Chains A and B, each alone.
Chain A
Amino acid sequence: MKQKAYARAGVDIDLGNKVKSTLPQLLAPTHRSEVLGTVGGFGGLFALDVKKYREPVLVSSVDGVGTKLKIAFAMNRHDTIGADLVNHCVNDIAVLGAEPLFFLDYLGTGKLQPHVFTEIIKGFTRACADNNCALIGGETAQMPGFYQPGEYDVSGTIIGVVEKACLLDGKTIEPDDRVIGIASNGLHTNGYSLAREIFFEQMKLKPTSYVPELENTIGDELLKVHVSYGSLIKKLLIEFNGTGVPLAGDDILNGERTPKDSPIIKGMAHITGGGFIDNIPRVLPDKSHNGSRSPYLSFFHNISNVLPNKCDVIIKKGSWEMLPIFKLIQTKGGVSEDELYQVFNMGIGMVAIVSESRVKDILKFIHIQKHKAWEIGEVLAGSGKARVI
């Protein structure tokens, strides 16, 4: 058959449709009972069961995976990137106390290769299923001339929900609280442009090079999937804050399961681009900035700013086990420590700011959930900053 003009111009609608026809089967494992309709409608339909909540708040986040994609291209492995993206998004909303509802992906590419497309989608679906998140929509853009042959970009958006009273907002963080760090398994999805320069340009490694210190090839090490802390955080909040479980009406009336006024776990931060220094302050209390525009209220806020009610977080280097990949970056990279701690997670994927009295219990609980965790710092009176010492 004669090739169509649009296909000659670089966009093959028939090929796109053919590839899309495999979607229902691929998406099936991510199904949730709230999902209405089938693949192919103009919008994904998700009937949130609002009766499970007193005041449901939708929490959303969008992200990409950055230049980790270059490693996937070099390794010709396309089924992990989607999982990186989903897990990243799950973590971003989990730190607010929210659990995932649904996810939508975007895939921008030059020419669509059916088997690569399938691999990419498999990464999304596996992680969505693992996180009990419905994959209800996506867009695959064929854009000739935008991407190098065989390359693509992905982004994704997650929508989750949290009971308003259970929103983790860090408001109650105060001096003497402790910082617990939960282990990452590597770079997750940040710092890849710098890491690629160090490993592939300075050290002249190839993705397939075996690195004895890593007991792994550098490519495999760099493709390790971003850890999802979603289920761990949910369990932590149920166990220590009495929240995170849907609040049935009776329970509220009886005073059971009502979120405590002074939660044990007070705030969490996902350690992504910007490291401890940029991410932790996002959850520190800042009384001068609570969205109020009222001059009457801001008068009192200005007074309160003078009072020592802001906090700093101190992170103590060396208080956790350094992953080999970060040791390698430290010794071979020739990059100042300050910068390393702002570009990479340095082995800590998530931090929790918790009441000092329960630190041991929380650490024990996290260990039972098969995550490594350490007490890595504390909260002091200060000006809303995080410092690594």
Chain B
Amino acid sequence: MLGAEPLFFLDYLGTGKLEPHVFTEIIKGFARACAENRCALIGGETAQMPGFYQKGEYDVSGTIVGVVEKSRILNGQKTVKRGDAIIGIASSGLHTNGYSLARKIFFEQMRLKPTSHVPGLKGTIGAELLKVHISYGPLVQKLIAKFNVGQASRLSPSSKKKFRVRLEACATVKAFAHITGGGFVDNIPRVLPKNLDVVIYKDSWDMLPIFKIIETRGGVPDAELYQVFNMGIGIVAIVSADKAEAILKFIRAQKHQAWLIGNVIEGRGEVRIVSIWTAVATPKAFGGHRFE
């Protein structure tokens, strides 16, 4: 989200009694994803703590260290402008947020089992909920290389200082926000200037079946759903409106689904989630920019 690429990773595994085959499976998961993200797994701690965890249960955490050239750090709080477009890139499901609520809905309210089949979902609910959190790392690197660095280097800067200023000035991909716990509402403001708002238009992207089920069966108000779940959007990119179409095309060519899902207007550093219908009824909300 900051433009950095991974260097190395360390994992922590807290457990009651260590079962060797489970341990091996867990480490395999770390190792596979580290390899795919070109990230070295260089350390880890396995804590055996009798009395802390239920039998067969464990907790994991991990720390990643990455690096970014200082002049290429994405700083949305400086670069995002009124009229910028919000591109949403598809998630594969819940990723890693909202599971306590989802478990309540599926396993308590709907009385499903992890092995239950649910109309609308291809696999079982368990398989659906275990879908791996997508890595956007390679995509983000390519976007920055293509739309920010590539642009700036063509200006042949006379000094490093100028280079930095120009890099910021001509960054067309201005910021990314990873949509995790807290949804659009809590995550986008982390990269937004204090005098701008982001409007997200519901229904401007294909809703994944899992979220349709949560919406129709969960009995949870929409406002809360959008703060707990990613609702099908794993990351958002804030980009110059004039390059939005080109960026969308590029993302789709990288085999990710993406949509124009909102824009930046004057405000107070907040996110508003509105339906398209509301938006059409109050054209002022666009800050003078038409939403397509």
Q: Identify the A interface with B (CB < 8 A).
A: 4-6, 8-11, 13, 16-17, 36, 40-43, 45, 47, 58, 60-64, 66-67, 69-70, 104, 106, 108, 139, 141-144, 146-147, 151, 153, 155, 157, 159, 193
Asked if B38 lies at the interface with its beta carbon under 8 angstroms from chain A, I say no
Asked if B44 lies at the interface with its beta carbon under 8 angstroms from chain A, I say yes
Residues of B within 8 A of A147 (CB): 52
Q: Are B59 and A146 in contact (CB under 8 A)?
A: yes
Q: Are B104 and A62 in contact (CB under 8 A)?
A: no
Question: Who on chain B is nearest to A106 by CB?
Answer: B61
Q: Are A64 and B190 in contact (CB under 8 A)?
A: no
Q: Are B59 and A63 in contact (CB under 8 A)?
A: no
Q: Are A6 and B224 in contact (CB under 8 A)?
A: yes
Of B10-18, B146-154, B276-284, the stretch lying at the interface with chain A is B10-18
Q: How large is the interface on B (under 10, 10 to 19, 20 to 34, 35 or more residues)?
A: 35 or more
Tell me the complex Cα distance, A139–B98, Å. 16
Q: Are B103 and A4 in contact (CB under 8 A)?
A: no
Known contacts A5-B101, A62-B11: A104-B2 contact under CB 8 Å: no
Q: Are A42 and B190 in contact (CB under 8 A)?
A: yes
Q: Are A60 and B59 in contact (CB under 8 A)?
A: no
Question: Who on chain B is nearest to A10 by CB?
Answer: B100
Q: Are A64 and B45 in contact (CB under 8 A)?
A: yes
Q: Name 21 A/B residue pairs within 8 A (Cβ), A-sorted.
A: A5-B104, A6-B100, A6-B228, A8-B104, A9-B101, A9-B103, A13-B181, A41-B190, A41-B191, A43-B2, A43-B4, A47-B70, A58-B7, A58-B8, A60-B10, A60-B63, A60-B65, A67-B52, A151-B52, A153-B49, A157-B43
Q: Are A66 and B186 in contact (CB under 8 A)?
A: no
Residues of A within 8 A of B51 (CB): 67, 70
Q: Are A45 and B2 in contact (CB under 8 A)?
A: yes
With beta carbons under 8 angstroms apart, the residue of A5, A16, A66, A153 that contacts B59 is A153
Residues of A within 8 A of B289 (CB): none
- Rounded to whole Å, the gap between the CB of A87 and the closest CB of chain B is 15
CB within 8 Å of A: which B155-191 residues: 177-178, 181-182, 186, 190-191
**Count of chain A to chain B residue pairs whose CB atoms are closer than 8 Å in the complex:** 124
Known contacts A62-B43, A67-B51: A5-B220 contact under CB 8 Å: yes
Tell me the complex Cα distance, A70–B221, Å. 39
**Other A-B pairs, 7, CB within 8 Å; known A153-B49, A193-B49:** A6-B224, A43-B4, A43-B66, A61-B10, A62-B45, A146-B59, A157-B43
Residues of B within 8 A of A151 (CB): 52
Question: Who on chain A is nearest to B227 by CB?
Answer: A13
With beta carbons under 8 angstroms apart, the residue of B8, B47, B177 that contacts A64 is B47
Tell me the complex Cα distance, A277–B204, Å. 62
- Rounded to whole Å, the gap between the CB of A23 and the closest CB of chain B is 14
Tell me the complex Cα distance, A67–B47, Å. 9
Asked if B267 lies at the interface with its beta carbon under 8 angstroms from chain A, I say no
Question: Who on chain A is nearest to B223 by CB?
Answer: A4
Question: Who on chain A is nearest to B67 by CB?
Answer: A48
Tell me the complex Cα distance, A377–B121, Å. 66
- Rounded to whole Å, the gap between the CB of B58 and the closest CB of chain A is 9
CB within 8 Å of A: which B189-230 residues: 190-191, 218-221, 224, 227-228
Q: Are A108 and B182 in contact (CB under 8 A)?
A: no
Q: Are A108 and B73 in contact (CB under 8 A)?
A: no
- Rounded to whole Å, the gap between the CB of A354 and the closest CB of chain B is 27
Residues of A within 8 A of B221 (CB): 5
Tell me the complex Cα distance, A4–B100, Å. 13
Known contacts A5-B218, A13-B181, A151-B52: A40-B190 contact under CB 8 Å: yes
Q: Are B63 and A157 in contact (CB under 8 A)?
A: yes
Q: Are B14 and A17 in contact (CB under 8 A)?
A: no
**Residues 54-80 of chain B, each 1 if its beta carbon lies under 8 Å from chain A, else 0:** 100101010101100010010000000
Report which residue of A42, A70, A104, A141 has the largest number of chain B beta carbons within 10 angstroms of its beta carbon: A42
Question: Who on chain B is nearest to A192 by CB?
Answer: B49
Question: Who on chain B is nearest to A42 by CB?
Answer: B1
Tell me the complex Cα distance, A69–B177, Å. 35
CB within 8 Å of A: which B1-35 residues: 1-2, 4, 7-8, 10-12, 14
Question: Who on chain B is nearest to A102 by CB?
Answer: B65
Report which residue of A5, A58, A193 has the largest number of chain B beta carbons within 10 angstroms of its beta carbon: A5
Q: Are A108 and B14 in contact (CB under 8 A)?
A: yes
Residues of A within 8 A of B219 (CB): 5
Known contacts A67-B52, A151-B52, A155-B12: A17-B47 contact under CB 8 Å: no
Tell me the complex Cα distance, A341–B190, Å. 50
Q: Are B218 and A60 in contact (CB under 8 A)?
A: no
Asked if B42 lies at the interface with its beta carbon under 8 angstroms from chain A, I say yes
Q: Are B11 and A5 in contact (CB under 8 A)?
A: no
Report which residue of B42, B49, B181, B227 has the largest number of chain A beta carbons within 10 angstroms of its beta carbon: B49
Question: Who on chain A is nearest to B58 by CB?
Answer: A146
Question: Who on chain B is nearest to A155 by CB?
Answer: B12
Tell me the complex Cα distance, A153–B50, Å. 12
Tell me the complex Cα distance, A69–B63, Å. 21
Q: Are A143 and B181 in contact (CB under 8 A)?
A: no
Tell me the complex Cα distance, A64–B47, Å. 7
Residues of A within 8 A of B70 (CB): 47
Q: Are B178 and A58 in contact (CB under 8 A)?
A: no
CB within 8 Å of A: which B96-141 residues: 98, 100-101, 103-104
Residues of B within 8 A of A45 (CB): 2, 73
Residues of B within 8 A of A36 (CB): 73
Residues of B within 8 A of A47 (CB): 70
Question: Which 10 pairs from chain A and chain B are nearest by CB?
Answer: A157-B63, A42-B1, A106-B61, A155-B12, A62-B10, A9-B104, A64-B47, A5-B220, A9-B101, A9-B100
